[in-house]
Amino acid sequence: MDWRAFLTVFGTVFLAELGDKTQLATLVFSAKADAGARWGVFAAASLALVATTALGVLGGAALGQVLDTRTLTRAAGVGFIAIGAWTLWTA
């Protein structure tokens, strides 16, 4: 395993997920649940993150076969900028 890549991905995703809408939704579900149901909230949220991550990995692997990684990186950057601009515009 490439530990440098592992730690880079972990750190990037961890920081990106802190305080995002998914974490806030999980917080609300957990606040509404009783103590026994909180493990269910944790398990469901964890499984959902694993499933969406698997889709991202599979999609990235497929796109990486037909597109240059620089193109993918630029497309992701443009997408983030567009989402940020839309967020600012509608705020």
- Alpha-carbon distance 39 to 55, whole Å? 24
Structure confidence by residue, pLDDT tens digits, 18-67: 878 888 889 899 998 888 899 999 999 999 999 999 999 999 899 989 99
Q: Please, which residues have CB within 8 angstroms of residue 45's CB and are 6 or more apart in sequence?
A: 22, 26, 29
Question: Which pLDDT tens digit goes with each residue over 4-13?
Answer: 999 999 998 8
**Better-scored residue on pLDDT, 54 or 72:** 54
Widest CA span of the chain, in angstroms? 48
Phi, psi torsion values for 41, nearest 5 degrees: -60, -45
More confidently predicted of 83 and 19: 83
pLDDT value of position 52: 93
Global pTM?
Answer: 0.70
pLDDT of the residue at 34: 86
Distance CA 51, CA 91 (A): 31
Residue ranges covered by each domain of the chain: 3-66
pLDDT of residue 80: 87
Q: Which amino acid is at 43?
A: A
CA 82 – CA 87 distance, rounded (Å): 8
Instruction: Return the C-alpha torsion angle 82, 85, 89, 91, nearest 10.
Output: 110
